[in-house]
Structure 1
Amino acid sequence: MYQIILKDLQFNSHIGVFDFEKEQGQKFAVDLILDMGYVEAAEQDDLNKTVNYAAIFKLLENYFARSRVDLLEYACGEIIQEILEFDSRILGVDLTLKKPQAPIEGDFAYMAVRQQRKRYNLVYLSIGSNMNDPVKQVDDAVEYLQQIPGISHFRCSSYIATKPWGKTDQPDFINAATEFIYQGTPFELLRACQQIENNMGRTRVEKWGPRLIDIDIIFFGDLEINHPELIIPHPYFRERDFVMDPIMELKRQAK
């Protein structure tokens, strides 16, 4: 996982409880870590393929220039929310807000508040099986998925029987889709899904061949990822009714 680190950023602001803090202002310092998961700039030397830390600095500068809140805790929450809304590729924020001139008698470097927050993403998975009692295989996969740390608000579509895609000389599939909120990175979820497949006994022998269990990430929030291990949205989702029909069922139910 990649991180973007901005260290000891200095700003003047009027954050504070007392009237003189609001009137005179004082210095604040920020340490910031942005969790990025995978960034395309690791493979493409293009600023548009990552989060521009100069833009993040400007966002912070604008916040401190206008803020008149009382508490560091409240300021931390507002800043983190602005950062997460700024760019959907930012999957988590670790922010330390320091107040070196806090109105307290005594010797100290600074008083500070630290807050860490991960983005919650709406995720859709496709599940399929056409071997060894496919309904039971999908049942088991659904049960195991709900045990992945960071998953909440889990829902599963109806099961549908579908013809095989890509290689047609094999048994029909049982397919379903799941929807949930996930607090974590796409690659953490990918590893968890692959572990479930491995634990259930899946072997990868033939492309588009029979599957004991197949779990694919179709959508992960509004992220777009193009990596040798993971492409999001899934590259074939538009061509596969057995993927989109269960997902659309879940979307209709949510309205």
Structure 2
Amino acid sequence: MVGVSSARDRISLRGIRVTAHHGVFDFEREQGQEFVIDVEARLDLAPAASGDELAATVHYGELAQEVADAVRNDPVDLIETVAERIAAVVLAHEAVEETTVTVHKPQAPIAVPFDDVAVTIVRGRA
């Protein structure tokens, strides 16, 4: 068996697109807009790989749906709050040791031309 540090193992989901109604302004809450989510879950993938067992890892299809549901529900003012919510969803998977979550708000109401605005947080087990 190859010796590997579990801190380097990760499952990444990039570009999850969800229409939701977050924002400080009334028109953001009323009209909604697209949010783009990137999630990285760090966990030891050796048990899943050695036994070829889905049960020994995090099902990325289910995780993607859980993330989308967390973004879609319960509008809040800040994308920082959305990011925290997503991190909690990822860390609810017992195998996950740490997560990095980026919430992009490409249609943010900013008065100057821009490509993207995003917040990124890193959270782990206490």
TM-score after normalising by structure 1: 0.45
- Distance (whole Å) between structure 2 residues aligned to residue 11 and residue 41 of structure 1: 29
Matched to 1:92, the amino acid is E
Of 110, 116, 119, 1:110 maps to 116
Superposition deviation, residue 6 in structure 1:
0.6
User: In structure 1, what is the equivalent of residue 55 of structure 2?
Assistant: 48
User: In structure 1, what is the equivalent of residue 79 of structure 2?
Assistant: 72
- Distance (whole Å) between structure 1 residues aligned to residue 11 and residue 116 of structure 2: 24
- Structure with greater proportional strand content: 1
- Distance (whole Å) between structure 2 residues aligned to residue 112 and residue 61 of structure 1: 17
- Contact 2:38–2:103 (Cα < 8 Å) also in 1: yes
Matched to 2:112, the amino acid is G
Partner SS for 1:58: helix
Of 104, 110, 116, 1:98 maps to 104
- Distance (whole Å) between structure 2 residues aligned to residue 95 and residue 39 of structure 1: 23
User: In structure 2, what is the equivalent of residue 209 of structure 1?
Assistant: none
Extract unaligned runs of 5+ from structure 2: 1-5
- Distance (whole Å) between structure 2 residues aligned to residue 110 and residue 67 of structure 1: 23
Superposition deviation, residue 38 in structure 1:
4.1
Superposition deviation, residue 44 in structure 1:
1.3
Q: Deviation digits for residues 117-145 of structure 1, max 9, x if unmatched? A: 1112xxxxxxxxxxxxxxxxxxxxxxxxx
Give structure 1 regions of 4+ aligned residues with deviation exceeding 4 angstroms.
Answer: none
Over the aligned positions, Cα root-mean-square deviation in angstroms equals 1.2
Once the two structures are aligned, what percentage of the paired residues are identical?
34
- Distance (whole Å) between structure 2 residues aligned to residue 39 and residue 23 of structure 1: 46
- Distance (whole Å) between structure 1 residues aligned to residue 86 and residue 18 of structure 2: 13
Higher relative contact order (Cα pairs below 8 Å, separated by 6+ residues): 2
Matched to 2:101, the amino acid is L
- Distance (whole Å) between structure 2 residues aligned to residue 38 and residue 60 of structure 1: 20
TM-score after normalising by structure 2: 0.89
Q: Deviation digits for residues 148-202 of structure 1, max 9, x if unmatched? A: xxxxxxxxxxxxxxxxxxxxxxxxxxxxxxxxxxxxxxxxxxxxxxxxxxxxxxx
User: In structure 2, what is the equivalent of residue 119 of structure 1?
Assistant: 125
Q: Deviation digits for residues 102-127 of structure 1, max 9, x if unmatched? A: 0012221111100001112xxxxxxx
- Distance (whole Å) between structure 1 residues aligned to residue 114 and residue 80 of structure 2: 19
- Contact 1:12–1:65 (Cα < 8 Å) also in 2: yes
User: In structure 2, what is the equivalent of residue 36 of structure 1?
Assistant: 43
Superposition deviation, residue 7 in structure 1:
0.9
